[in-house]
Amino acid sequence: MNRRTTLLLLALAVAAPLAACGGSESSEQSSTSAGAASTEDFCAFAQQVVTAQTEIDTQLDGQGTPEALKAAFASYLNLLDGMRAAAPANLQADVATARVGFESFDTAMKDIDYDVARLAADPSLGEVFAEQLEVMRSVEVTTAMSNVDAYTVASCGISLDSTN
């Protein structure tokens, strides 16, 4: 697998699930729970998630090191935990489900030691990598991502869809 194919595979791995975030609006958008953090807190996490997505994209474009990519994924997953805690009660399950998708992506990256160049060096890794990303592309995960994105657009004016 050449470098161009590797970068295309990684771009699809990131963009396809994130593009799914731009789906239809959910009826869950308007309700909040008494115990949930404020919309302002949720929106602050949403903005940090967008920044973290940009960092991951930069690292995947080959502009970083495996160590930096590993740190970017860890930061991203931690931000999703904070976002779930700050989300209205009826959105928390969707944030948690979206996180499961990104965990599968992190696991796929972990299996190649966060070294994008390994995908170019070993074509068989590309097939395994793609298989591991199936969770992220599942209907359940992409629907959850769409619900979360619809809420962040409506409540925060922020899209989590990095393809926009």
133-139 average pLDDT score: 89
Place of tokens 């592309």: 137
Domain hosting residue 78, numbered range = 3-15+37-156
Distance CA 145, CA 128 (A): 24
Q: Is residue 22 part of a domain?
A: no
Q: Is residue 32 part of a domain?
A: no
Distance CA 39, CA 111 (A): 36
Q: Tens digits of per-residue pLDDT, 53-89?
A: 998 988 888 778 999 999 999 999 999 999 999 999 9
Nearest one of 106, 91, 63, 114 to 160, comparing CA atoms: 91
**pLDDT at 19 (0 to 100):** 39
* Total number of domains constituting the chain: 1
Is residue 149 pLDDT above 90, yes or no?
yes
Nearest one of 20, 6, 12, 5 to 164, comparing CA atoms: 20
Q: Is residue 30 part of a domain?
A: no
What does the block give as tokens for 126?
A: 């590309």
Q: Is residue 61 part of a domain?
A: yes
Q: Is residue 139 part of a domain?
A: yes
**pLDDT at 162 (0 to 100):** 66
Tell me the pTM. 0.76
Q: Is residue 23 part of a domain?
A: no
Q: Is residue 140 part of a domain?
A: yes
Q: Is residue 164 part of a domain?
A: no
